[in-house]
């Protein structure tokens, strides 16, 4: 249909008769039109002659004759039901197939009271609109009593149809910048805006000029969530308040989230920088059975409480919760701070960060005016202070280290949705080649001198000392100190690897052939080189093997034994107490579920959680971690929890000595779950983890001292990776529940070998200290909970997400859920999951072919691409039946395991439903 009054007549007539209408954008592709018609079950398409080709392409072979059948008996008018769907809108479809969005009569009535005007005169004022605020916001003109009819439903309206011609020239974009424009806007009751915040400089300039700005907030699914009104003097234009009239009917709720945000442009911040509270908003739209969660990150200066009035909270929108970039190290970056600071610069229109599956972040900057090639360096220098300021506010691994990581593009180059939002996926596709060039330039940008091969150790040390600055290094470090134990982050490791590569390349060029042959070839310096050799001495051994050959190099088998000796040389015993469980890793996935079980156990009177230090309230952070995993804990049980934020690898577990003694005086059980999830770290970099196990063993011994009649128990959570090579060494798949007899049973990962060191420490403690019970549990792939939660960061979840992305499922054989004594075949799980993901059986393909497709498919919706090496080398062996953990001893003493059954189809469907709910799957 064309964008005129006829469209409004058709829509309102159908709505009045109770016939649902699906409104389709003319911008949609034919496949998207086909998808929406099929999804909604529409039986008839009304289309104008101009748009007939689009409909014909969507449904080839189906033609309309333009004739109408007239029912001589008249038209039946169905009863009006407030929550019945009468109109179906849709999402933009810019990141996949569009999603239908049902709207009810009551939904439209929500527009009728979308204001807090103080008089009829205010309410009946003329509205001048350039574009609709939401897809159907022009319906407000039909639903608000007494308002002037000045616009039709405008899905494809030209902008000038909505503005009376005599005002169009006055509202040119320059009106926002010059004094004449300010005078025009100042004469209006208010100037509403939506779709995103303007630059703070523009908003403040307008506010100072007396222009009354009102931000409108909402979504297509929800309708308007904030009211229109005439603001009073001094009103803060960047603050919002929710509509009071829909809080109850829509069941609006704010839930706390733990996300880093930028406070630099918060106009409400006091000089003392008050604490801020971060939330996500959810509600149940009119006519919906399920809740809808908006992805906007909401920040307030007041804490929301269940009994409080959230309609009185002033808040701002500072970004999106789902706006994450995953680096190659597995670290997550939320680029909001960087992008928002850049947008405030007078020469910048917009910015979009990139860096998925790379070792550091880069950013595309869209200039307000085109920048000539010869002016690029000057422009980057001009904006570099903003980049540096963003770096100071972000995590160390999220900083941009070089102007070479900045791309400058002309105005309008960044892909946007109809609402003006930058489409990160589309940006990555459009600029894929340019982004690849950026990372090549970063690799080539390092400048380092050649090594003096007569004294290479001093050259490596100087390279580290002169270029890698981190606070924990200090002046008292040795060549044997582990970089990561000293506090090196992933970005610094990347920088050092680049400098090292350039230095080795320069040495090859500067040295003679005979001398250069002593040095490792440049192509052997891989991305994880610093992780594999994390000290000056280790780098020297790796770069110049012959230099250290005379001194001998310790094998990993010898190193494992040495580390066990080092960390089990426990000093003399002291003190302990009883009736409490000490738990590490409680904020993680497994730890959260363990804590939930302990709190529900009547035999447990206290749980002391040793969590990593954080900025937020410890109890609230722990509650948030558990709520995010669908773990429900009664309010009265939280009185059993005591959380200490500390570093367990430090002396006295990082606690004050008196506090440590009190802890030792209480502990009866110790469960150690916390562990760094980094598969690139080498064995030597787990020093802090070894100290943690050492300290917890010592804590158990002290507990026995305080209560000699008891035997404190310490349980270490190990990994299936410590026996990952058992089938290759022993020739049989069933791994008995015994200690690791041969280090070759363990996978070739620093992660796995470090777990083995801790297993050996636990075993030696059990042998040497009869006053304690020390044990370990080897855990494989942790699956989901019966509630439907399954950690989105686990590798099998990534496999499922990539399956949906490429439309193929790998053919897997063998068994899964290795800890469950009840075996199940992969074949039946593959059939069920592929069906739930709407992947036909013909698209179940061999794993190797599937991996090739994953590796060749780009985009953030393909998380398995980040795990491609693990999936190629270890997934089948570890997850498809080549290795099976024998559980006969465990289930003989554990009634829970003995009574376990297979994972049912409904549980698998619940996992998929959860992944869809958190937007991992579509």
| Residue 376 shares a structural domain with residue 406 | yes
Query: Can you give the residue range of the structural domain that contains 864?
Result: 795-917
Establish if 528 belongs to a structural domain: yes
Q: Which of 11-20, 192-201, 213-222, 405-414 has the highest mean pLDDT?
A: 405-414
d(CA 144, CA 151): 13
**Across 121-125, 239-243, 424-428, 564-568, least confident range:** 564-568
| Residue 619 shares a structural domain with residue 742 | yes
3-state helix vs strand vs coil in the chain, percent to 5: 40, 15, 45
User: What percentage of the chain exceeds 90 in pLDDT?
Assistant: 17
Q: What is the mean pLDDT of residues 469-484?
A: 70
Assess whether pLDDT exceeds 50 at residue 536.
yes
Q: Which of 547, 574, 595 is the last residue of a domain?
A: 547
Q: Which of 515, 547, 579 is the last residue of a domain?
A: 547
**219 forms bridges with which residues in the sheet?**
223
Q: How confident is the model at residue 295 (pLDDT cuts 50, 70, 90)?
A: confident
Establish if 488 belongs to a structural domain: yes
Assess whether pLDDT exceeds 70 at residue 231.
yes
Cα 199 versus chain centre, distance: 26
Question: What pLDDT was estimated at residue 454?
Answer: 77
d(CA 502, CA 19): 70
Alpha-carbon distances, residue 317 vs 177, 196, 281, 371, 782 (angstroms): 24, 9, 11, 31, 35
SS (H, E, C) 814-851: CECCCCCCCCCEHHHHHHHHHHHCCCCHHHEEEHHHHH
| Residue 426 shares a structural domain with residue 486 | no
Assess whether pLDDT exceeds 60 at residue 382.
yes
Assess whether pLDDT exceeds 70 at residue 23.
yes
Establish if 844 belongs to a structural domain: yes
d(CA 152, CA 141): 8
Q: How confident is the model at residue 274 (pLDDT cuts 50, 70, 90)?
A: low
Q: For the segment 691-728, what is each residue's pLDDT rounded down to a tens digit?
A: 999 999 999 999 888 777 788 999 999 988 898 888 88
DSSP of 364-383, one letter per residue?
A: EEEESS---GGGHHHHHHHH
**CATH number, residue 331:** 3.30.300.30
Q: For the segment 341-350, what is each residue's pLDDT rounded down to a tens digit?
A: 999 899 999 9
Question: What pLDDT was estimated at residue 386?
Answer: 93
| Residue 738 shares a structural domain with residue 592 | yes
| Residue 541 shares a structural domain with residue 580 | no
What is the pLDDT of the chain when averaged over all its residues? 78
d(CA 724, CA 722): 6
| Residue 404 shares a structural domain with residue 489 | no
Establish if 728 belongs to a structural domain: no
| Residue 656 shares a structural domain with residue 742 | yes
**CATH number, residue 128:** 3.40.50
d(CA 653, CA 666): 15
Cα 802 versus chain centre, distance: 16
Tally Cβ neighbours within 10 Å of residue 61. 5
Establish if 238 belongs to a structural domain: no
Domain count for the chain, please give it: 5
d(CA 25, CA 33): 9
| Residue 461 shares a structural domain with residue 426 | no
Q: What is the mean pLDDT of residues 150-154?
A: 25
**CATH number, residue 507:** 1.10.1200
Assess whether pLDDT exceeds 70 at residue 684.
yes
Q: What is the mean pLDDT of residues 739-753?
A: 89
Q: Which residue has the higher pLDDT, 627 or 70?
A: 627
Q: How confident is the model at residue 92 (pLDDT cuts 50, 70, 90)?
A: low
Report the half-sphere exposure of 333 (CA within 13 A, side-chain side).
34
Question: What pLDDT was estimated at residue 575?
Answer: 43
Q: Which of 129, 163, 197 is the last residue of a domain?
A: 163
Q: Reduce the DSSP state of residue 391 to 3 states and report it.
A: helix
d(CA 30, CA 48): 16
Q: Which residue has the higher pLDDT, 323 or 744?
A: 744
Question: What pLDDT was estimated at residue 551?
Answer: 47
| Residue 33 shares a structural domain with residue 125 | yes
d(CA 163, CA 833): 52
| Residue 497 shares a structural domain with residue 351 | no
Cα 315 versus chain centre, distance: 23
789, two tokens: 């939660």
d(CA 365, CA 343): 9
Question: What pLDDT was estimated at residue 150?
Answer: 22
Establish if 695 belongs to a structural domain: yes
| Residue 827 shares a structural domain with residue 738 | no
pTM equals 0.51
Q: How confident is the model at residue 95 (pLDDT cuts 50, 70, 90)?
A: very low
Give 322: exposed, middle or buried? Use CB within 10 Å, 0-12, 13-18, 19+. middle
Assess whether pLDDT exceeds 80 at residue 646.
yes
**Across 146-150, 183-187, 502-506, 748-752, least confident range:** 146-150
Assess whether pLDDT exceeds 60 at residue 139.
no
**Across 765-774, 862-871, 876-885, least confident range:** 876-885
Establish if 621 belongs to a structural domain: yes
d(CA 23, CA 453): 73
**Across 193-197, 385-389, 426-430, 897-901, least confident range:** 897-901
Tally Cβ neighbours within 10 Å of residue 58. 22
Assess whether pLDDT exceeds 80 at residue 636.
yes
d(CA 564, CA 690): 9
| Residue 86 shares a structural domain with residue 50 | yes
426 in Cβ contact with 859 (< 8 Å): no
d(CA 714, CA 371): 63
Question: What pLDDT was estimated at residue 395?
Answer: 73
Q: What is the mean pLDDT of residues 260-271?
A: 44
Establish if 123 belongs to a structural domain: yes
Pairing of strands 665-672, 713-719: parallel
Tally Cβ neighbours within 10 Å of residue 162. 19
């Amino acid at each position: 249909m064309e964008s005129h009054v006829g469209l409004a007549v058709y829509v309102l007539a159908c709505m009045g008769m109770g016939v649902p209408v699906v409104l389709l954008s003319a911008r949609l592709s034919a496949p998207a039109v086909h998808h929406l018609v099929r999804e909604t079950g529409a039986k008839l398409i009304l289309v104008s002659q101009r748009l007939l080709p689009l409909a014909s392409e969507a449904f080839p072979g189906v033609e309309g004759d333009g004739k109408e059948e007239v029912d001589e008996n008249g038209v039946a008018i169905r009863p009006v039901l407030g929550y019945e769907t009468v109109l179906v809108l849709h999402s933009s479809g810019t990141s996949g197939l569009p999603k239908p969005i049902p709207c009810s009569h009551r939904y439209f009535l929500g527009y009728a009271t979308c204001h807090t005007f103080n008089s009829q005169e205010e309410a009946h004022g003329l509205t001048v609109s350039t574009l609709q605020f939401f897809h159907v916001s022009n319906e407000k003109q039909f639903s608000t009593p007494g308002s002037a009819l000045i616009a039709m439903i405008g899905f494809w309206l030209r902008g000038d149809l909505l503005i009376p011609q005599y005002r169009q020239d006055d509202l040119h974009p320059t009106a926002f910048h010059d004094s004449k424009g300010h005078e025009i806007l100042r004469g209006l009751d208010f100037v509403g805006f939506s779709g995103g915040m303007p630059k703070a400089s523009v908003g403040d300039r307008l506010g100072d000029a007396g222009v009354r700005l009102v931000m409108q907030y909402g979504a297509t699914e929800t309708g308007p969530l904030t009211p229109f009104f005439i603001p009073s003097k001094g009103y803060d234009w960047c603050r919002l308040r929710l509509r009071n009239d829909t809080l109850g009917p829509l069941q609006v709720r704010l839930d706390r989230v733990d996300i880093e945000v930028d406070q630099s442009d918060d106009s409400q911040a006091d000089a003392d920088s008050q604490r801020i509270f971060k939330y996500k908003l959810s509600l149940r739209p009119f006519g919906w059975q399920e809740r809808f969660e908006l992805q906007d990150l909401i920040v307030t200066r007041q804490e929301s409480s269940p009994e409080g009035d959230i309609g009185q909270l002033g808040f701002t929108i500072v970004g999106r919760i789902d706006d994450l970039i995953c680096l190659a190290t597995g670290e997550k970056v939320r680029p909001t701070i960087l992008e928002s600071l850049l947008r405030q610069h007078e020469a910048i229109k917009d910015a979009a960060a990139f860096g998925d599956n790379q070792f550091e972040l880069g950013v595309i900057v869209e200039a307000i005016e085109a920048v000539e090639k010869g002016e690029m360096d000057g422009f980057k220098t001009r904006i570099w202070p903003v980049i540096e300021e963003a770096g100071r506010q972000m995590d160390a691994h999220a900083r941009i280290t070089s102007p070479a990581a900045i791309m400058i593009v002309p105005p309008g180059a960044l892909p946007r949705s109809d609402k003006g939002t930058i489409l990160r996926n589309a940006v990555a596709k459009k600029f894929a080649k340019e982004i690849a060039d950026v990372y090549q330039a970063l690799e080539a940008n390092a400048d380092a001198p050649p090594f003096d091969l007569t004294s290479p150790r001093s050259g490596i040390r100087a390279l580290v000392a002169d270029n890698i600055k981190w606070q924990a290094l200090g002046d008292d470090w040795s060549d044997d100190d582990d970089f990561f134990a000293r506090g090196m982050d992933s970005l610094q490791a990347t920088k050092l690897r680049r400098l090292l590569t350039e230095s080795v390349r320069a040495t090859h060029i500067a040295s003679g052939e005979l001398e250069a042959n002593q040095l490792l070839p440049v192509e052997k310096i891989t991305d994880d080189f610093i992780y594999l050799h994390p000290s000056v001495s280790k780098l020297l051994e790796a770069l110049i093997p012959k230099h250290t050959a005379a001194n001998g190099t310790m094998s990993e088998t010898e190193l494992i034994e040495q580390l066990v000796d080092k960390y089990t040389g426990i000093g003399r015993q002291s003190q302990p107490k009883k009736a409490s469980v000490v738990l590490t890793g409680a904020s993680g996935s497994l730890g959260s579920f363990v804590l939930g079980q302990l709190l529900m156990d009547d035999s447990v009177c206290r749980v002391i959680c040793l969590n990593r230090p954080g900025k937020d309230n410890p109890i609230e952070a722990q509650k948030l971690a558990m709520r995010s995993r669908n773990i429900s804990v009664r309010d009265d049980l939280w009185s059993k929890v005591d959380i200490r934020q500390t570093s367990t690898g430090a002396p006295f577990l990082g606690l004050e000595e008196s506090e440590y003694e009190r802890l030792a005086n209480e502990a009866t059980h110790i469960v150690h779950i916390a562990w760094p999830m980094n598969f690139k770290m080498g064995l030597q970099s787990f020093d802090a983890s070894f100290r943690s196990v050492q300290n917890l063993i010592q804590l158990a011994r002290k507990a026995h001292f305080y209560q000699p009649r008891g035997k404190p128990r310490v349980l270490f959570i190990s990994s299936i990776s410590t026996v990952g090579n058992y089938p290759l060494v022993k020739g049989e798949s069933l791994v008995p529940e015994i200690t690791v007899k041969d280090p070759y049973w363990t996978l070739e990962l620093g992660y796995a070998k470090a777990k083995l060191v801790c297993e050996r420490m636990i075993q030696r403690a059990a042998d040497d200290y009869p006053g304690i019970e020390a044990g370990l549990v080897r855990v494989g792939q942790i699956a989901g909970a019966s509630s439907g939660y399954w950690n989105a960061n686990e590798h099998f979840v990534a496999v499922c997400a990539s399956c949906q992305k490429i439309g193929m499922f790998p053919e897997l054989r063998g068994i899964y859920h290795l800890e469950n004594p009840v075996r199940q075949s992969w074949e039946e799980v593959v059939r069920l999951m592929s069906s739930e993901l709407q992947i036909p059986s013909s698209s179940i393909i061999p794993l190797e072919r599937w991996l090739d497709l994953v590796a060749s498919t780009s985009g953030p919706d393909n998380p398995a691409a980040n795990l491609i090496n693990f999936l190629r080398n270890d997934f089948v062996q570890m997850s498809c039946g080549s290795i099976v953990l024998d559980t006969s001893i465990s289930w003989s003493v554990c009634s829970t395991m003995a009574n376990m059954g297979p994972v049912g189809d409904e549980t698998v469907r619940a996992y998929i439903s959860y992944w869809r709910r958190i937007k991992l799957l579509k």
